[in-house]
Amino acid sequence: MALIYLASQSPRRRQLLEQLGVPHETLLPGPEEDAEALEQQLAGELPDDYVRRVTRAKLQAAQLRLTRRGLGVLPVLCSDTTVALGREILGKPEDPDDALRILRRLSGHTHRVLTAVSLAWPGGEAQAVSVSHVRFAAIPELALQRYVGSGEPMGKAGAYAIQGRIAAWIEHMEGSYSGIMGLPLFETAQLLRQAGIEA
């Protein structure tokens, strides 16, 4: 029996929630929903504002989904991760060439990874944001091309997965490893406790 709904298609988020020992079921968008449209950036939007807004929009969409499907009233958890270089948001790559462009921008620099988590439960709603810093060493062009060729960057903010091959080039990291993966466990556990769920 699920204790909460996780409104995310990410297997990493499921894995991290399992690490907390929280029983859950996924609450995924139907074919009639344009989930990607929720992630469109607004003109001039800063990374912190963006990740908060998108996560809140995902939560609202999931709550509507819950009502439409007539499912049991359970807490709903949503999350969104974005990668920022200064004020610039580096989202999911559109194609391999775009992935290469993003990774070249990150190579040899420190960037931020912001992950917002929103939780709604009967009688309440709360949000938290985890901010981490990641520095890549200068990555040779051939290594970048091999990484992109592996297919791993596709569908991932900033065109990389910290738990994947790119970890060989991470020179320094501070913050939340689980947050960089997509679900910061400390902040998530705090939100669950607010809803009366022990994690």
Give residue 2's pLDDT band: very low, low, confident or very high (50, 70, 90): low
Distance CA 55, CA 45 (A): 14
Q: Dump pLDDT digits (tens) for 177-196.
A: 999 999 999 999 999 999 99
Question: Would you name the residues annotated as active-site residues?
Answer: 80
Is residue 23's pLDDT more than 60? yes
Q: Please work out, in degrees rounded to the nearest 5, the angle formed at the alpha carbon of residue 133 by the alpha carbons of 16 and 51.
A: 65
DSSP code for 137: P
Exposure string over 54-93, b if 16+ CB within 10 A, otherwise e: bbbbbbbbbbebbeeeeeeebbbbbbbbbbbbeeebbbbb
Q: How many residues does the chain have?
A: 199
What does pTM read for this prediction? 0.92
Q: Dump pLDDT digits (tens) for 49-102.
A: 999 999 999 999 999 998 888 887 899 999 999 999 999 999 999 999 999 999
Contacts of 62 (CB under 8 A, 6+ apart): 5, 7, 27, 76, 78
Q: Please work out, in degrees rounded to the nearest 5, the angle formed at the alpha carbon of residue 124 by the alpha carbons of 19 and 177.
A: 30
Q: Which amino acid belongs to residue 7?
A: A
Which has more confidence, 77 or 30? 77
